Amino acid sequence: MKRLFCVFITLFSFLGILEGYAQQPSSSTALPLDQDSQKIMYRGVIEQEGSPGYLYDKAISWFGFYYLNPQSVYSIQDKENGKIEGIGRMKIYYNEEKTGTRMDGGIILYKIKLELRNNKYRYTLTDFNLKGTSRFPIEKWLNKTDPSYNANWDSYLYQIDTTMQRLVSTLKEKMKPVIIKKDEW
């Protein structure tokens, strides 16, 4: 009976792992493209109660939470006009074929922009480039027919997509008002 139980547990674990791989989205089709510029762009308008000044303070607090050194990200901090802009950075990785060791694939730079108005804000993440001696827009990685196509490109795009989705979800969560519970006893 114990042996049968172990076989079922092993089988279900294996099926769960396979299902996880099967549900991993194709990164090239999951990335949002701007219709006009054909650049990868994450953008959303979120209804959130508060004045532009209040939302600005919440956004600055989120920058401090999300980035290790938010001062290195900012290029514009304009509380009066409700605007924060900057350049974010993230590392990408690949697995070496022979050893399977995780290797550094480079640094991706992206533009982050928050616009704050009464009871709403808009975030925009765009201009994704591989850091190097010259600009290398990552939209080139979407072209699988490119003669210089590399299988790592799909992995890089997937890493960028999941990181940007996590960035957006933490932004939305941190921009919500803090609920203060009274301790009535």
Is residue 83 over pLDDT 70? Answer: yes
> Does some domain include residue 104?
yes
Expressed as residue numbers, the domain containing 118 is 27-174
Residue 103, domain CATH: 3.30.530.80
Q: Strand 83-95 relative to strand 74-78: parallel, antiparallel, unpaired?
A: antiparallel
> Does some domain include residue 36?
yes
Under DSSP, the state recorded for 19 is H
> Does some domain include residue 7?
no
Band (pLDDT 50/70/90 cuts) for residue 41 is very high
The total of structural domains in the chain comes to: 1
- Measured on CA atoms in the order 58, 60, 64, 66, is the torsion positive or negative? positive
Distance CA 94, CA 102 (A): 6
Angle between helices 52-66 and 152-175 (to 10 degrees): 130
Count CB-CB contacts under 10 A for residue 151: 9
pLDDT tens digits along 114-158: 999 999 999 999 999 999 888 889 999 998 888 888 889 999 999
Distance CA 5, CA 178 (A): 47
